[in-house]
Structure 1
Amino acid sequence: MELRPVPGRLNTNSADTLTSQTSDPPLQELRPMPGRLDTDSPDTLTTPTSEHLSTDSNLNIVWWDGDNDPEHPYNWPVWRTRLNCTLVSCASFVAPLATTLFAPGVPQLMREFHSDSEELTTFVVSIYNLGMAFGPLLIAPLSEVYGRVKIYHVCNVGFVAFVIGCALAPNLQSLIALRFLSGVFGACFSANGGGSIADMVPQERRAGAMAAFTLGPLLGPIAGPIAGGFITSAKGWRWNFWLVAIVGTFLSLVMALTLKESFHPVILEAKAARLRKSTGNPLLRSKLDSGLTFKHNLRRSLVRPVKILVYSPVVTLISLYIAVTFGYLNLMFTSFTEIFENYYGFTPDQVGLAYLGLGVGSLVGVALFRLTSDRYLAKKAADANAAGDNSNVPNGGMKPEYRLTNLPIGSLLVPIGLFIYGWTTQYHIHWMVPIVATGLISCGNILTITPLQMYLIDAFHVHAASALAASIVLRSIVGAALPLAGLRMYSALGIGWGNSLLGFISLLFLPLTFVFLRYGEYLRKRFEIKTL
């Protein structure tokens, strides 16, 4: 049966909230589900318990068939979970790849379109990020109404179509407009990918999958100029877009054939629809169905990312921190060509290789996060249970704040890398030194952004996509604006003091690291949003 839009989440004051579990008579007895989540947030899924079963007498509620229900994404075969996670991660690489792939070809296209404006030269690259800022405001909420898969397929078609339009653009104005629209649709996987991973992977095993997903948006813009330089030299700037369109089309076809819906409310709604048809009982409904009208639910969903960003100071501060850190990377993407050509005499092909420092640093950051995050989370959970601290409360030891252990390291590596990169370049120290410094920056970037994104996912779970969308909006706006001002800053201050200024700004965020670690739980509960 065709999936209907899923109505909004239940009111937490009702008997049918997410924390009370029921069983329909034809279904087997519920048992505790794996991967329990922190119940401090009203929007998190919880484990069914015997207490829940005994207190809920509504026999028309449809829920999971016990802890081994094959429909629950946590219980999918390993190959399916890995396939879905891999496809989402690959897509999160391809869309950001389009940000910078054609950057080495910008001088060529500006000559073709008879323009010598420095502002337009930068804007034609960064306009894509503005599209990625607006896209999540629509895409993430819609995925919480219609499910992940339908939104992925629609956005894949839109992304490929507008990238092809970029390849065929007859003038600079149309290219800028098409770049913006391709960014809107390309934001889909950055906005929803983290939510998909939260759907499929239990909290205690989520770090590895999330690290791989985070790598895409960071490595995509790094790999872009490396490949783009050679493609531009061999085939011209338009082929940079054709390559993205070809890869995007292939990935879209694979996803159309293999991707499976993972959003829990959509799966349960489909199950309820099947049972209504097979039993003839029209009263059966999903436990996550509050009975809202489609119009009401859609309106609530569309304002959710803005509501989270405005009313949760923790999310606001996290989003601002991510935006500044990510903006530094975007500034490097747009300034590497000029800096390494002017200071070290690199050719366009050699400039592409200068991005390898960022790539290696990102891989090191991912490895460190993957090795430490889940282990620390499991240790804290075990310590809490051993001490009897919240041992009878679902997920008593797995607090979102435990994801932030790597944050102080990342917060220090970014400014240190900026200082070294700026002054060694200013004094023409061997080119290997500033490239290693960019590796420190990208490693710090991973160890800053990934823990903060994991925090948002663990804290908001069901609405993880909307929480991530809130952070992506600021991230993309800063990512688009900073490169426009960055080159002027370097011209006015020099590369040494310019990067030092960025380093000092980064240091201003360092105290936030310890605020999140020490007071994050208090702030999260104090400013809890009751109705999402």
Structure 2
Amino acid sequence: MAAPTNESVPRDTEMTPIPPPPPAAKPDEDPFLVTFVHPIDPSNPKDWSRSKKLIVTDVLSATGFCRIMVSTIIAPALPTIKNELHMNSTEAAMALSIYLLATAFGPLVIGPLSEIYGRKNILHACNAWFLLWNLLCGFAKTKELLIAARFLAGFGASSIYALAGGVLGDVWRTEERGKSLRLYLVIQLFGAAVGPIIGGIMSARTTWRWMFWSTSIFQAIMLVIEIGTFPETYAPLILRKRAERLRRSTGDPQYRTPYERPQDRKSVANVLTRALTRPLRLLTFHPIIQVTALIQAWSYGMLYIVLSSFATLWTEEYKQPTELSGLHYIACAAGEVAGSQVGGPLMDMMYRRMRERAPDGIPRPESRILLTFPGSLLVGLGLLVYGWAAQYHVHWAVVDGAAFVYMFGGQIAGMPIQAYVMDLFSEHTSSALAASQFLRSLTAFLFPLFAPAMYKAMGYGWGNTMLALCGLFFGLPAPGIIWMFGERLRRRATESY
């Protein structure tokens, strides 16, 4: 029988709007309570070695890289696909963006299921699903099949949005939140640049079908690596399996984990219903999720306006060839990677300082939000310079530099919001992030649809000025609401456990 430990229940649950599981009792009080061993338990993901944590994080990062790359790789080939499959302009745009629409709905199912059946099984199943439909895209002979396969591939790809935050929260401690996000994002964020670059080269030199076949080969290799290296990270499931072994070996059915006991009298249907509706209940009833989701949704929508129109800027305004236009995405990816590598350590440094100042050694979770303010200012500055430099056809290096600043600021502003949600909903991180991802993916799907008309009517200068002003509204007052009223909003949240 395992002795209790402080890691059996997340450390910061007293700051969350979600009721924590029953506290672990001492052995002499409850000999049948199964928890992690104190002070170090090799089966506790937070007690794993650094190398094991890095393997898990790198696998997630490489998976995310493939997902983002696939989302943008066909952009340079859309004219060719449009002609070959007899699409109109709307259908061609749909073939690109339907993938993002699927990532709005996938996490609503995948995230909660991972909190029942574990991260590993759900990740492997979703990756196999993605591989199947992405491969089929390369064999599509009709526009209907291509659009449908892209949607279903996007549904499987959305597992990374549902699981990444949950797995990082499983493995890394609260004071390491910035480090975990920095390590996770360093590989993943290059996908946004690599996709259009590879797509541009393939579009000019071979058939567009190899865009799907090549990424499917990469995904197949990743699936083999994941199966061999990715362990289960969800603590409630690890403890549940330990309790099951104890029940079998002793013949005593009383062994239970702190997470099982609240569900002992619930049917399987009840547990599944509560889990699958949790993301929408969080989005409907929790003010914190609502505010953070709106902030992230607007930021994500602006990001995809820039990404979707960046190649067009170089081909139509600067008259550069398609292959060369894709290289400018390197500035975007470099800005995001640099922002993640600077923002992660800054976030952890600020958390340590706030913890030292806190009377009880536990800082307000809202202390994460401070870093969003300078990040939002950089976002506005980058958009303004990018827009007006493009408007007057200033040298390409100025536009790329401004895009770098915009992406850099976006990461500095976005990482603390994600860390804040992970802190507050430590046991149901996947469900909480799935609720936010729903709005993010919807804006990523919808905003690029009106971007061409916006830039045609307003030009790049005034178009980006409008985006910058709106971004400052969501990037400054909205986080300010969390900073000033976050604790009150957490107390008023409706229970959605």
Q: Once the 2 structures are TM-superposed, how far is the Cα of residue 301 of structure 1 from its aligned partner?
A: 0.3
Give 5+ residue unaligned stretches, structure 2: none
| Corresponding position of 1:14 | none
Q: What SS is found at the alignment partner of 1:285?
A: coil
1:314 aligns with 2:280: no
Q: Which moved more, 1:179-188 or 1:71-80?
A: 71-80
1:372 aligns with 2:346: yes
| Corresponding position of 2:74 | 102
Kept after mapping to 1: 8 A contact 2:5/2:36: no
Q: Once the 2 structures are TM-superposed, how far is the Cα of residue 48 of structure 1 from its aligned partner?
A: 7.3
Q: What SS is found at the alignment partner of 2:259?
A: coil
Residue 68 (structure 1) aligned to one of 35, 40, 43 = 40
Structure 1 segment 34-433 matched on structure 2, within 5 A? 36-41=11-16, 43=18, 53=26, 57-115=29-87, 117-214=88-185, 218-289=189-260, 290=262, 291=264, 292-384=266-358, 389=359, 391=360, 396-433=361-398
Higher helix share: 2
Q: Deviations over 1:76-116 (max 9, x none)?
A: 1222111011101111121121100111111111121233x
| Corresponding position of 1:16 | none
Counterpart amino acid of 1:53?
K
In structure 2, the CA distance between the partners of 1:444 and 1:519, relative to structure 1 (3 Å rule), is same
Kept after mapping to 1: 8 A contact 2:45/2:170: yes
Q: Once the 2 structures are TM-superposed, how far is the Cα of residue 170 of structure 1 from its aligned partner?
A: 0.7
| Whole-angstrom CA distance in 2 between matches of 1:131 and 1:33 | 35
1:524 aligns with 2:462: no
Kept after mapping to 2: 8 A contact 1:38/1:398: no
Q: What SS is found at the alignment partner of 2:223?
A: helix
| Whole-angstrom CA distance in 2 between matches of 1:33 and 1:503 | 43
Counterpart amino acid of 2:438?
V
1:511 aligns with 2:477: yes
| Whole-angstrom CA distance in 2 between matches of 1:402 and 1:235 | 51
Kept after mapping to 2: 8 A contact 1:122/1:334: no
Counterpart amino acid of 2:444?
G
| Whole-angstrom CA distance in 2 between matches of 1:216 and 1:398 | 30
Q: Once the 2 structures are TM-superposed, how far is the Cα of residue 154 of structure 1 from its aligned partner?
A: 0.6
Counterpart amino acid of 2:485?
Y
Q: Once the 2 structures are TM-superposed, how far is the Cα of residue 42 of structure 1 from its aligned partner?
A: 5.4
Q: What SS is found at the alignment partner of 1:53?
A: coil
Q: Once the 2 structures are TM-superposed, how far is the Cα of residue 314 of structure 1 from its aligned partner?
A: 1.8
Kept after mapping to 1: 8 A contact 2:300/2:444: yes
Kept after mapping to 1: 8 A contact 2:22/2:259: no
Kept after mapping to 2: 8 A contact 1:40/1:525: no
Q: Once the 2 structures are TM-superposed, how far is the Cα of residue 337 of structure 1 from its aligned partner?
A: 2.1
Q: Once the 2 structures are TM-superposed, how far is the Cα of residue 287 of structure 1 from its aligned partner?
A: 1.4
Q: Once the 2 structures are TM-superposed, how far is the Cα of residue 379 of structure 1 from its aligned partner?
A: 1.5
In structure 2, the CA distance between the partners of 1:522 and 1:214, relative to structure 1 (3 Å rule), is farther
Q: Once the 2 structures are TM-superposed, how far is the Cα of residue 37 of structure 1 from its aligned partner?
A: 2.5
How many residue pairs are counted as aligned between the two chains? 492
Q: Deviations over 1:344-384 (max 9, x none)?
A: 11110111111111112112211221221111111211222
Q: Deviations over 1:455-482 (max 9, x none)?
A: 1101000100001001111000100101
Q: Deviations over 1:144-194 (max 9, x none)?
A: 110101100110110000000101111111101110110011000111111
Q: Which moved more, 1:150-159 or 1:509-518?
A: 509-518
In structure 2, the CA distance between the partners of 1:81 and 1:44, relative to structure 1 (3 Å rule), is farther
| Whole-angstrom CA distance in 1 between matches of 2:166 and 2:364 | 18
Q: Once the 2 structures are TM-superposed, how far is the Cα of residue 305 of structure 1 from its aligned partner?
A: 0.3
Q: What SS is found at the alignment partner of 2:15?
A: coil
Counterpart amino acid of 1:518?
M
| Corresponding position of 1:454 | 419
Kept after mapping to 1: 8 A contact 2:388/2:460: yes
Counterpart amino acid of 1:433?
V
| Whole-angstrom CA distance in 2 between matches of 1:214 and 1:425 | 29
Kept after mapping to 2: 8 A contact 1:39/1:46: no
In structure 2, the CA distance between the partners of 1:313 and 1:531, relative to structure 1 (3 Å rule), is closer
Q: What SS is found at the alignment partner of 1:170?
A: coil
| Whole-angstrom CA distance in 2 between matches of 1:45 and 1:264 | 14
Kept after mapping to 1: 8 A contact 2:22/2:258: no
Q: Deviations over 1:403-447 (max 9, x none)?
A: 222100111111211111111111111111111111111112111
Counterpart amino acid of 1:40?
M
Q: Once the 2 structures are TM-superposed, how far is the Cα of residue 298 of structure 1 from its aligned partner?
A: 0.5
Residue 399 (structure 2) aligned to one of 403, 410, 434 = 434
| Whole-angstrom CA distance in 1 between matches of 2:449 and 2:248 | 57
Kept after mapping to 1: 8 A contact 2:293/2:437: yes
Kept after mapping to 1: 8 A contact 2:293/2:439: yes
Give 5+ residue unaligned stretches, structure 1: 1-25
Counterpart amino acid of 1:372?
L
| Whole-angstrom CA distance in 2 between matches of 1:171 and 1:460 | 44
Q: What SS is found at the alignment partner of 1:61?
A: coil
| Whole-angstrom CA distance in 1 between matches of 2:283 and 2:490 | 13
| Whole-angstrom CA distance in 2 between matches of 1:31 and 1:328 | 44
1:502 aligns with 2:467: yes
| Whole-angstrom CA distance in 1 between matches of 2:238 and 2:97 | 38
Counterpart amino acid of 1:521?
E
